[in-house]
Amino acid sequence: MNHIAPAPGLQALYAEMAPRHLFPLWEVLSALVTPTPHSAARPARWRYAEARDFLLRAGGLISAEQAERRVLILENPALPGTSCITPSLYAGLQLILPGEVAPCHRHAQSALRFVMEGDGAHTAVDGEKALMRPFDLVLTPNWQWHDHGNGSGAPMIWLDGLDIPTVRFFEASFAERLDGPAHPETAPPGDTARRYGRNLRPFPGTAGARRPAAQPLFHYPHAEWDAALDAIAGTDAPDPHLGHALEFTNPADGGPVMPTISAHVRRLPAGFTTRPRRSTDGTVLVVVSGAGTARVGGEEMALEERDLLVVPSWHALEIEARTELTLFAYSDRAAQEKLGLFREARE
């Protein structure tokens, strides 16, 4: 609204309209249609060591089966009570102790798992186990059956990244449990990678084409993405804003890993500082290895191995790598690009 004094009857008009659920746009327009994004979230960092202690304490008090999913939610400090890390995304740390299972279910929400600790537990997707090693990325795309189990001798902790708030926003949540804790085994571990992971796919319509055509892959091992990062770091100069960066793709269409979620890894050489970059996709980052400092919208946060960081929409991020720093990240960029909303600015 401009600054001319309002007519005296205006407040009385508002008061009469309000009980009829009618309100003047001109009082709120500038807050609704902002010239640049105003995130409701704020930057935050979680120390892995601290979160891990709480999670292991929970492990002594409730079983994975009892809890259905034994997870500590990473909630944005500016979004209390919402279970959101950004307005569109969810993050949690899930613990499975040796011998435990998390029962089989499926839901409209898309999920990724990024292994923080432990070796050899599994996520089964539609009955095929992905054996999870440190820093592997495993997808459970929407409406695919999944269960988790830990046949290894040590606790297993991974980061769950889901689009729970997005699905809630669209009011499109469906979920169901499968009778019994696990889906029958439909294929041996690694079967999907052998069929679909070599720039080939089983000929459409043949019995070998067992995975959904639009979303075949669900396991992106650390050994593979790490070797790919090494390869570009060995030949290319680091990008000034991102360092060496690789996006995980869905081989079916070359696009992001899931319809609502994009994921990538980046590596900064020791001593490298990125130029400030902002983007509309609020992003969750995990320190895979190394140490440094993140500056997010004027706030400075130290980063150590396995720490977690959230950078809200349109907050400038600069990262300084003290030692070689490798990060995993996910965001809602996949959804924003489909809606024509994604933007970034590089200083």
Q: State yes or no: residue 69 binds ligand GTQ (CB under 6 A).
A: yes
3-state secondary structure of 277: strand
Q: How far is the CB of 174 from ligand GTQ (least distance, A)?
A: 12
Binding test (CB under 6 A) with ligand GTQ, winner from 76, 88, 94, 260? 94
C-alpha of 208 from chain center: 31
Q: State yes or no: residue 319 binds ligand GTQ (CB under 6 A).
A: no
Considering only residues 108 through 137, tell me which ones interact with ligand GTQ, judged by CB under 6 A. 111
Q: Is 69 or 343 the residue whose CB approaches ligand GTQ more closely?
A: 69
State the residue number with the nearest CB to ligand GTQ.
160
Q: Is 108 or 187 the residue whose CB approaches ligand GTQ more closely?
A: 108
Q: In angstroms, rounded to a whole number, what is the distance separating the alpha carbons of residues 251 and 272?
A: 32
Q: How far is the CB of 107 from ligand GTQ (least distance, A)?
A: 6
Q: State yes or no: residue 281 binds ligand GTQ (CB under 6 A).
A: no
Q: Is 107 or 278 the residue whose CB approaches ligand GTQ more closely?
A: 107
Amino acid symbol at 107 = H
Q: In angstroms, rounded to a whole number, what is the distance separating the alpha carbons of residues 242 and 232?
A: 13
Strand order in the sheet with 175-177: 128-132, 121-125, 146-149, 101-107, 175-177
Amino acid symbol at 115 = V
Considering only residues 138 through 197, tell me which ones interact with ligand GTQ, judged by CB under 6 A. 160, 162
Would the CA dihedral through 227, 139, 195, 250 be positive or negative?
A: negative
Binding test (CB under 6 A) with ligand GTQ, winner from 45, 70, 107, 244? 107
Q: In angstroms, rounded to a whole number, what is the distance separating the alpha carbons of residues 30 and 328?
A: 36
Considering only residues 236 through 255, tell me which ones interact with ligand GTQ, judged by CB under 6 A. none
What does the block give as tokens for 29?
Answer: 């327009």
Those residues whose C-beta lies under 8 Å from the C-beta of residue 329, and which sit 6 or more positions away, are: 263, 264, 265, 266, 283, 284, 285, 286
Q: How far is the CB of 197 from ligand GTQ (least distance, A)?
A: 23
Binding test (CB under 6 A) with ligand GTQ, winner from 71, 116, 294, 321? 71
The footprint of ligand GTQ (CB under 6 A) covers 69, 71, 92, 94, 107, 111, 160, 162
